[in-house]
Amino acid sequence: EVQLVESGGGLVQPGGSLRLSCAASGFTFSSYEMNWVRQAPGKGLEWVAYIGSDGGPIYYADSVKGRFTISRDNANSSLYLQMNTLRAEDTAVYYCARLRAFDYWGQGTLVTVSS
Amino acid sequence: DIQMTQSPFSLSASIGDTVTITCRASQSISTFLNWYQQKPGKAPKLLIYAASSLQSGVPSRFSGSASGTDFTLTISSVQPEDFATYYCQQSYITPGFTFGQGTRLEIK
């Protein structure tokens, strides 16, 4: 059974940093491209970042470019999102999702940016 | 960037009705269009990929179609568990796997 489990969310002050993790199981992680998608409270879905199966190519939404870094560890079936210089508008539930048609999603982890 | 315009913003339906949700792309995306269902507090679920292919395990009352840059999600004979928010998403152009604004399906 395919499973994606996010962790690392929490409360952080504006300007702070946070690192999200996504642990994958039930499939050959190294063969699949992965994404981060977020959803602000009461709002719609926003794609955040993409990474190819072997670590490249990498793409970001304009809203996070230069502040967020997506990476992966295929040996440990894990996906990461390093988030720096966080802003209030980054407050959202962050999901990891597989493929470009996001066929599997994690349960999400809440990031709250507030002083 | 490709814009995805989804309509209506919300709609009301009764059990057994057939409902249609539309998504229009700002430029050609071939058939790289996916539909998701999201219930409150849950992650989205893939229903339709490549405009008209039914994801495994999804009931056959869900269907998708395409005509140029216009895409349609149809739910035939709406069931109680179908009341949710639906999103379209283009997976044609990187970067930017753009989502539509969402359509909330409510019970009448």
pLDDT, tens digit, 9 for 90 and up, residues A8-45 = 999 999 999 999 999 999 999 999 999 999 999 999 99
Q: Decide if B95 and A59 are in contact by the 8 Å CB cutoff.
A: yes
Residue A74 has pLDDT above 80, yes or no: yes
Element (H, E) at B35: strand B33-38
pLDDT tens across B26-81, in order?
999 999 999 999 999 999 999 999 999 999 999 999 999 999 999 999 999 999 99
pLDDT tens across A36-56, in order?
999 999 999 999 999 999 998
Give the tokens for residue A78.
């894990």
Question: What are the φ and ψ backbone dihedral angles of B77, each rounded to 5 degrees?
Answer: 55, 70
A33 contacts: CB under 8 Å, gap ≥ 6: A50, A51, A52, A53, A98, A99, A100
Q: What residues of chain A have any CB closer than 8 angstroms to a CB in chain B? A: 35, 44-47, 50, 57, 59-61, 95, 100-108
Give the tokens for residue B74.
């149809």
Give SS3 for A81. Answer: strand
Give the C-alpha distances (Å, rounded to integers) separating B34 from A57, A64, A68, B48: 22, 24, 26, 5
Q: CA of B96, closest CA in chain A: separation in Å?
A: 6
Distance CA A102, CA B43 (A): 11
CA-based Rg of chain A, rounded to a whole angstrom? Answer: 13
Distance CA A45, CA B81 (A): 21
